[in-house]
């Protein structure tokens, strides 16, 4: 337990150090002792993925078939983050590949992008049995993977898919999805990443009335990206 805690603390420290280091715009800040990259550099996405494959930080390692690390453009400007893999994802080891995934692909294409241009993943990398909500200790154990992914990819916009993902990214347990969506949040230590929360595609399949608000959220995301100079 003490070793796990030490690993989590180290992971979080590396994440914060990486965010405080030089950004995409090389040379934007003069290199000083304070702004130098961390002594222990972050792993590459591939190395992080490899590490996750054998992860036993929480009990979900006992019931998973595959670790679903996420996939897409390692330099994506936009990340879509759900809560956890479902049955199809667990079987295939890939995110959003079932019916909900097909709908997400259509949603991404509707704003002029492809799956290959964005990065798609989940907060948790292993499926909770029966698709139950993740336990707080499971989310806490897995969050460092997502934090490292974000630090490595350096997206401009994150779209949280669903209530659990929105709550975890906004660190506001208990908040309803309706209260989280409709806003563009300044997110991260320096507030430079934009965060948008919308309904999970699986919820849209169950409740067709959610499709309109999702489309409104995607137009908001597209407008934000265009305002940043994104060509969509």
Applying CB under 6 A, which part among 15-23, 57-65, 94-102, 199-207 lies near ligand SF4? 57-65
Among 18, 60, 157, 196, binds ligand SF4 (CB under 6 A): 60
55 binds ligand SF4 (CB under 6 A): yes
φ, ψ of residue 194 in degrees (nearest 5): -90, 135
Neighbours of 97 (CB within 10 A): 20
Q: Taking contact as CB under 6 A, which single stretch among the options 10-18, 52-60, 98-106, 189-197 is the one that binds ligand SF4? A: 52-60
Please give the structure tokens belonging to residue 183.
């806003």
Q: Which of 18, 42, 45, 52 is the binder for ligand SF4 (CB under 6 A)?
A: 52
Output the smallest distance, CB 63 to ligand SF4, in A: 10
Instruction: Please give the Cα distance from 123 to 207 (Å, whole number).
Output: 23
Listed residue (204, 211, 200, 183) closest to 81, CA to CA: 200
DSSP-derived pairing of the beta strands 193-198 and 157-161: parallel
Specify the DSSP element, H or E, that contains 196. Answer: strand 193-198
Q: Is 48 in the site for ligand SF4 (CB under 6 A)?
A: no
Contact flag: residue 205 with ligand SF4 (CB under 6 A): no
58 counts as binding ligand SF4 under rule CB under 6 A: yes
Q: Find the binding residues for ligand SF4 in span 128-147 (CB under 6 A).
A: 138, 141-142
Query: Contact letters (x/-) for ligand SF4, 62-101, by CB under 6 A?
Result: -----x----------------------------------
Distances in Å between the alpha carbon of 213 and those of 29, 182, 189, 201, 217? 40, 9, 29, 12, 6
Q: Which is nearer to ligand SF4, 7 or 228 (CB)?
A: 7
Cβ pair 84, 204 in contact under 8 A: no
- The residue ranges that bind ligand SF4 (CB under 6 A) are 52, 55-58, 60-61, 67, 124-126, 138, 141-142
């Amino acid at each position: 337990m003490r070793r796990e805690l030490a690993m989590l603390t180290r992971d979080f420290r590396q994440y914060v150090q990486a965010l405080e280091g030089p950004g995409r715009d090389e040379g934007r800040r003069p290199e000083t002792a304070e702004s130098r990259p961390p002594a222990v550099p972050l792993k590459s996405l591939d190395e992080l993925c490899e590490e996750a494959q054998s992860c036993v930080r929480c009990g979900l390692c006992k019931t998973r078939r595959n670790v679903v690390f996420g996939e897409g453009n390692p330099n994506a400007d936009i990340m879509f983050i759900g809560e956890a893999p479902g049955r199809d994802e667990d079987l295939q080891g890939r995110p959003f590949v079932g019916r909900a995934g097909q709908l997400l692909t259509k949603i991404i294409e509707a704003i002029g992008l492809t799956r290959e241009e964005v990065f798609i993943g989940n907060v948790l990398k292993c499926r909770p049995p029966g698709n139950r909500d993740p336990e707080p200790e499971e989310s806490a154990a897995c969050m460092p993977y997502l934090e490292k992914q974000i630090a490595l990819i350096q997206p401009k916009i994150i779209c949280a898919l669903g209530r659990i993902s929105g709550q975890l990214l906004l660190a506001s347990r208990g908040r309803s999805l309706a209260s989280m969506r409709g806003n563009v949040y300044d997110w991260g230590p320096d507030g430079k990443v934009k965060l948008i929360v919308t309904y999970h595609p699986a919820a849209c399949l169950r409740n067709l009335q959610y499709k309109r608000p999702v489309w409104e959220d995607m137009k908001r995301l597209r407008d934000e990206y265009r305002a940043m100079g994104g060509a969509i």
